[in-house]
Amino acid sequence: MDEIEGGILSSISPSALSLNLTRSTIRMEHSQTWRIDKSNPVDDLLICLEGRGSYLIDGVPRVMEPGDAMLVTRGQNFVGWNDGPQTYTGLAQHFTLTSTVVTT
């Protein structure tokens, strides 16, 4: 934390940000038949553990492989599928991050 001391974030109080996990962590286990096309009213953090997941995020292609993580922002349209032979396994966490910071 020393490296941000005195930086642009130093004037923001720790209580100015509020992280809310809107549900428990979702374990993803998706076979080749899986397909999703949706948007969420909350932010979504996706983490790939095994296999491979393909996505279109607002029409932009993205591939998730083991160790990759991706943030899908609230309201953003995403299409996902598994076109590989291995089960696509990972974690998803829905959350909201709110700020009470006032900018001038």
pLDDT digit string (tens) for the chain, length 104 residues:
455 566 766 777 878 888 899 999 999 999 999 999 999 999 999 999 999 999 999 999 999 999 999 999 999 999 999 988 999 999 999 999 988 766 65
72 Cα distance to chain centroid: 5
| CB neighbour class for 3 (10 Å; exposed up to 12, middle 13-18, buried from 19) | exposed
The class that CATH gives domain 2-99 is: mainly beta
